[in-house]
Amino acid sequence: MHDLISSNKRRSVYLIASFVVLLGCVGLAVGALLGNGVIGTVLALAFSAVVSFTSYWKADAIALRVSRAVPADPQEYQRLHNLVEGLCIAGGLPKPGIYVVHDDAPNAFATGRNPNHAAIAVTTGLLEKMNRVELEGILAHELSHIRNYDILVSTLAVTLVGAIALLADMSIRMMWWNGGRVSRSNDRENGSNPLAIVGFVLLIFAPIAARLMQASISRRRETLADVSACQMTRYPPGLISALEKLKEDTTVTHAATTATAHMWIEQPLSGVGDAGKLSRMHSLFNTHPPLEERIALLREM
């Protein structure tokens, strides 16, 4: 287990570095395409640097705001606070911030940059549909994400994926509005600029690459968090029962977006499990392993 957690930390560093490199490449492509030479490239890279820096310090707050999460009142949600406090004592973790999302779909997520700066958010639907042991299993799963340092890369991905898509979309639209006519001196002299062509192709495929990287974040980490949660509660049937309820529930989590989908305990958006001709292609963008696989693994424990 410790080896897997250490491996996850290393993979987190690689993924964050890959996101930043991809964002920087998009910045270079923007500078080449908009024809502003060094100035355009520097401005695009400066934007990328600001987004990366802001992501580290503020991505958790952004994720909570995007999900419409509000602080959970200790009196109104006393059971929730008591369960989190008990699990934190058992797991040797500082108590994270506790938030509630007013959404009928049962779901939850953890966010933050480290165990000392972390938060857990649960939907009102989860609180209504789970009994005490099931809710404990879900909370232990989210606390495991915090203990395993999964939250840093998943939280950063919220803003980095969005920044890559925004920068690429903005640049392509600017070219479109300009009718494809940009004042690049190299183009006027040589007829075409290979760098601009490469940049245009990069802008088209960068959002797809970012989504694939986003999808790779959660699959293995969800399984590890399930196992870690059972070690924390010492009662696998509680989490198994909770996952079975999540499997049976078909309510869409309206508070989730494509940018935050990988953070939730189960795939929150509709369209998952499509069995059409493109099902294999769709599965590449699934942010979670199938609940059936997760439940089967826990039953073997």
- In this predicted structure, the answer to whether residue 170 has a pLDDT above a threshold of 50 is yes
Per-residue pLDDT band for 2 (boundaries 50, 70, 90) equals low
pLDDT at residue number 256: 82
Among 83-87, 156-160, 242-246, 265-269, which stretch is predicted with the lowest mean pLDDT? 156-160
What is the per-residue pLDDT across 222-275, written as a single tens digit (0 to 9) for each? 888 999 999 999 999 999 999 999 999 988 888 887 778 878 998 887 554 444
> Would you state the torsion angle of the CA atoms of residues 170, 157, 211, 203, taken in this order, to the nearest 10 degrees?
30
pLDDT at residue number 190: 46
Share of the chain above pLDDT 90, in %: 36
Does this model's pTM top 0.85? no
Among 178-192, 197-211, 240-254, which stretch is predicted with the lowest mean pLDDT? 178-192
pLDDT at residue number 184: 46
Residue 11 CB neighbour total at 10 angstroms: 16
Number of domains in the chain: 1
What is the per-residue pLDDT across 40-74, written as a single tens digit (0 to 9) for each? 667 766 776 777 677 778 878 988 999 999 999 99
Mean pLDDT (the chain, rounded): 78
Place of tokens 């915090």: 146
Domain of 139 in residue numbering reads as 2-299
Which residues are part of the catalytic machinery?
142
Task: Check: CB of residue 32 under 8 Å from CB of residue 196.
Answer: yes
Which is nearest to 30 in space by CA: 207, 157, 172, 159? 172
